[in-house]
Amino acid sequence: MPAPAIQAAYDALPPEGQTRALALRALVLETAQAMPELGGLDECLKWGQPAYLPRKPRIGTTLRIGASPSHALLYVPCTTRLVTAWREVFSGVEFIDNRAAGFAHAAALPKAIIARMVLDALRYHLDKRAK
């Protein structure tokens, strides 16, 4: 169960998106649990949205979760190259500019794709230095 302020942010989402956004949260937490290099995961609010970032500095970038009436949304900072890279790799995912991946409420969540996106974001700076 998220902290009260974070739960309030989920509760403020469109009713159609609350369940899907919480399912995204569960996938983020599950994926991060298998990543000891993060030093843990912080859950907070950024721009009024639930946000997730590694505890260790300079490892990864922030993920935010939101929802529209039709999609659950996984946001990353627009200054990263994540969405550009994801567009090349993941077909069938809807993207919003260079800011977010969208997952239609009417379709099953592509758990393997989302897990890969979470891994890419939470290791973004670490992987960038390795190249």
For residues 131 and 6, the model is more confident at: 6
Check whether 131 has a pLDDT greater than 60. no
Per the structure, the complete domain to which residue 108 belongs is given by 4-130
Quote the percentage of the chain above a pLDDT of 90: 91
Check whether 84 has a pLDDT greater than 90. yes
What is the rounded distance in angstroms from the CA atom of residue 103 to the CA atom of residue 128? 26
Per-residue model confidence (pLDDT) at position 2: 86
The greatest distance separating any two alpha carbons of the chain, rounded to the nearest whole angstrom, comes to 42
- Number of domains, the chain: 1
The phi, psi pair for 115, rounded to 5°, reads -60, -40
Average pLDDT value for the chain: 94
Per-residue model confidence (pLDDT) at position 130: 58
Of 125, 111, 119, 117, the residue nearest 36 (C-alpha): 119
CATH of residue 93's domain is 3.90.1150.200
Q: Report whether 42 contacts 55 (CB < 8 A).
A: yes
pLDDT in tens, 8-67: 999 999 998 999 999 999 999 999 999 999 999 999 999 999 999 999 999 999 999 999
What is the rounded distance in angstroms from the CA atom of residue 55 to the CA atom of residue 32? 11
Per-residue model confidence (pLDDT) at position 91: 86
Q: Of all residues in the chain, what percent are helix, strand and coil, respectively (each to 5)?
A: 45, 25, 35
The phi, psi pair for 38, rounded to 5°, reads -75, -20
CA angle 122, 92, 110 (to 5 degrees): 55
Per-residue model confidence (pLDDT) at position 57: 93
In Å, what is the CA distance from 68 to each residue of 24, 79, 103, 105? Answer: 14, 22, 10, 9
